[in-house]
Amino acid sequence: MARLLIGFGIFTVLFQGSFSNNYDNHTLMRLFPTNTKQLEAASGFHDPENKVEILKSSRGINDTLDVLVPFDRMHYVEDFAKEKGLLAEVKTNYGRSFEDLNERMPRRRVLRKFNVFQYNSFHMIQDYLDTMAQRYPNLVTLETLGNSYEGRRMQLVKISTNPSIGNPVIFVDAGVHSREWVAPSMAIYLIHRLVSDPTTKLPGHELDGLDWYILPVVNPDGYEYSRASKSNRMWRKTRSKNGKCYGVDGNRNYGFKWAVSGVSHDPCHKETYAGPNAFSEPETRIVKDIMIDNAKRIKLYVSLHAYGQYLVYPWGYTGQYLPPEWKKLDRLAKAVSEKVQRAGGKPFKVLSAGKWYAAAGGSDDFAFGAAGIPYSYTMELTDGFEFSFPESLLQRTLPQFYEGFREFGTQIKNEFGRHRKKRSYDD
């Protein structure tokens, strides 16, 4: 149920008792800043009781602040919105909007075949990667990287027509935040297109003079936990144990400007717990090792997330200043956005991550600032549906994003390939 409220004279909340889903009695509120003063207020929103979860912060005028509100904090958010003059869209009983979970139960995993346009279990994803390596041995190599905290095997997919010649590399990862299911789906679709589409192997296409490294699920433990039941659907962090509590925000755990801004130091509260120290999580150490071990060849890093349709670049730890190369990063991001829009998708909002809100310890900052990767981005996929983007829309949406990756590939080949043509995004 969603309603757009023009004023706050009447603010109705439907409270329907307790259900098995922790979020059935929560209300999703999307607050709309329409001027600079309201944007400042929305950007500074904070619940002193730490019960209201911020799903998405506002990055500009008319870009919503999305908060998930328990019943006992509705008056607080309602008063905040009224005081700041923010319009609101309200969706009550938020947990009931989650899709039918029967398809994700273990008994169904045997019956349901793998499909690139669905949300597959981690086990099915691993089987798919093994199958692709067996079916396309001249294109696909799997490198076992180690295990997650709970012991799940993590593999890097390397796609190349000629690994020995040292082509520039694009490194893509996804799924560091468990609940963002569309991100691993995009990574799988990227693998599918690169390997299965015969046109990508022709001269001038995505595998001509360019190698791709893809890690489809950075946080497999959290991913499977979010699939286990409706009450776990919004889990974001890893599954490591910290005292009596579980989980670290993997995208606050990287060792570049670690914990200087936008993080929590309390393992039992907040979704942004940075961990007891940088790289405390085996999953983030695995990504770090990929970057460092291949730093001379990786020219572009993209971390896939959801949601909001943003394409952001360093710095993330601060909004006070930009790296000297920011214009170059900005131009390529806007070119990628244009390609996605031409394919029928929505344009990305392009800006530095810290201009949205400062948050240290992100993988994009580490790639750019520590590993020296010249292009580094966080790509927030989809706008609308929050973290429950419908499977039925994947078949239309994922190919649109793929056109953006084609543009990424073109630029990296042109700038760093053996047959350089131009450096169109240089200052």
- Catalytic annotation, pick one of 53, 281, 380, 415: 380
How many whole angstroms separate alpha carbon 95 and alpha carbon 91? 10
Tell me 425's DSSP state: T
Whole-Å CA distances, 22 to 71, 119, 133, 304, 378: 11, 22, 40, 27, 29
CB 117 within 8 A of CB 193: no
CB count within 10 Å of CB 67 equals 25
Give the integer Cα–Cα distance in Å for 83 and 27: 19
Structure tokens at 396: 């239309």
Cα angle: 372, vertex 194, 103; to 5 degrees: 105
Residue that is written with structure tokens 């409270």 in the block: 15
Residue found by looking up tokens 């590993």 in the block: 371
- Distant-in-sequence contacts of 139-145, Cβ < 8 A, 24+ apart: 139/195, 139/207, 140/195, 145/215, 145/286, 145/289, 145/290
The residue to which tokens 């590399």 are assigned? 169
Whether 53 is catalytic is: no
Q: What is residue 245's DSSP assignment?
A: E
CA separation for the pair 130, 270 (Å, rounded): 37
Residues 124 and 211: beta-carbon distance below 8 Å = no
Residue 328, SS3 per DSSP: helix
Report how far residue 33's alpha carbon sits from residue 56's, in angstroms, rounded to the nearest whole number. 13
* Encoded tokens for 353: 């991550």
Which H helix or E strand runs over 5?
A: strand 2-5
Candidates 31, 26, 386, 346; CA nearest to 179 is 386
In the DSSP assignment, the letter for residue 391 is G
Residue 307: enclosing H or E segment and its boundaries? none
Q: Are 210 and 253 in contact (CB under 8 A)?
A: no
Gap between the terminal Cα atoms of the chain: 48
Residues tagged active-site? 380
